[in-house]
Amino acid sequence: MLNFIVNPNTKKLGALLEEIAARLNAEKIPFDILSGTTKEETRAIAGRLSESGPVQIVAVGGDGTVNDVVSGITVPENVELGIIPMGTGNDFAEAVGIPNGIAALDLILKGPSRYTDFIDCGENKSLNIAGLGIDVDILERCYRMKGHKRSKYFRSLLASLFHYKGQKIEVTVGDECFSVTAFIAAVCNGSQFGGGIRICPPADPGDGKLDLVVISCPKRSKILFELIRLMRGKILERPISRHILCEEARIVQTEGKTVQLDGELVEARSLTARIVSGKLRIFRS
Could you give the domains of the chain?
2-111 (3.40.50.10330), 126-275 (2.60.200.40)
- Rounded Cα–Cα distance for residues 53 and 78 (Å): 6
Handedness of CA 237, 245, 196, 216 (dihedral sign): negative
For helices 63-72 and 39-50, what crossing angle results, to 10°? 50
- Rounded Cα–Cα distance for residues 2 and 9 (Å): 21
SS3 47: helix
pTM of the model: 0.93
pLDDT tens-digit profile, the chain (285 residues): 999 999 888 778 999 999 999 999 999 999 999 999 899 999 999 999 999 999 999 999 888 899 999 999 999 999 999 999 987 778 999 999 999 888 999 999 998 999 999 999 999 999 999 999 998 998 898 878 766 566 677 788 888 888 889 999 999 999 999 999 999 999 999 999 988 899 999 999 999 999 999 999 999 889 889 989 998 999 999 999 999 999 999 999 998 899 999 999 999 999 999 999 999 999 998
